[in-house]
Copies of this chain bind each other. A is one copy, B any other.
């Protein structure tokens, strides 16, 4: 909020007396999956600790055009100064949840997990990954610190998939699984031999993915990543992979349309 208010809201602070109170109502202008109620509440509470914030919904619920998402009553200045920030947060998080839900619905009944990636707006990692869960998908690791994902560069430095896996198994703690990205069937075999916990199939076509799944044969969790779209989602799901990861869940989500009406008491 700091970046928006800076040295003060010169319109509101000069025109609205300090002690006026009012009521605001945020309304959906499109169908959406709600995410971010709690963060929106905190915006207003920081401006007025006595604010009254209520909603008939919970994060994750589907809301129709025209429904009242939430109501806030309290200091009028706080309502006017928090409006834009609260809307920006709700619109973005609900945008991610709404898009995620539409992907998840496509996969209904398929035994596959849709997960996000680290392609999030810097500073928004925790919130965007929360919105993905609200939308019904799952998270991949939160950052570089809570999961091992061995990529081509790590493999090259270590001199092969097997060496990389054996090497890191000596070092990480025993609650972390090891995932390795493989780009061909030789690497895949090495990964299986070294007992990787998770294998990511990188840039394989549907045919190759299907073959890889057969070779792996439940000896590791199988993830595909890269180039996931609405269109190939079902195709990918039907290859038998366990996990589909998609950066689009976060980086290509568009804000939903919400508006706020404020009235002074």
Cβ-based interface call for A3 (8 A)? yes
Q: Which residue of B lies closest to A226 (CB)?
A: B259
Q: Which residue of B lies closest to A15 (CB)?
A: B154
The docked-state distance in angstroms from the alpha carbon of A132 to that of B150 is: 25
Cβ-based interface call for A172 (8 A)? yes
List, in ascending order, chain B residues with CB within 8 A of A7's CB: 3, 6, 125-126, 142-143, 145-146
Given A6-B145, A10-B148, A15-B150, A173 and B119 contact (CB-CB distance below 8 Å): no
Contact yes or no, B123 A148, CB < 8 A: no
Cβ-based interface call for A20 (8 A)? yes
Which of the segments A62-70, A174-182, A208-216 contacts the partner chain? A174-182
Contact yes or no, B119 A172, CB < 8 A: no
Which of the segments A102-110, A163-171, A184-192, A230-238 contacts the partner chain? A163-171
Cβ-based interface call for A52 (8 A)? no
Residues of A near any B CB (own CB < 8 A) = 1, 3-12, 14-17, 20, 22, 76, 80-81, 84-85, 87-89, 91-92, 113, 115, 118-126, 138-151, 153-154, 156-158, 164, 167-168, 171-179, 197-198, 221, 223, 242-243, 251-252, 254-255, 262-264
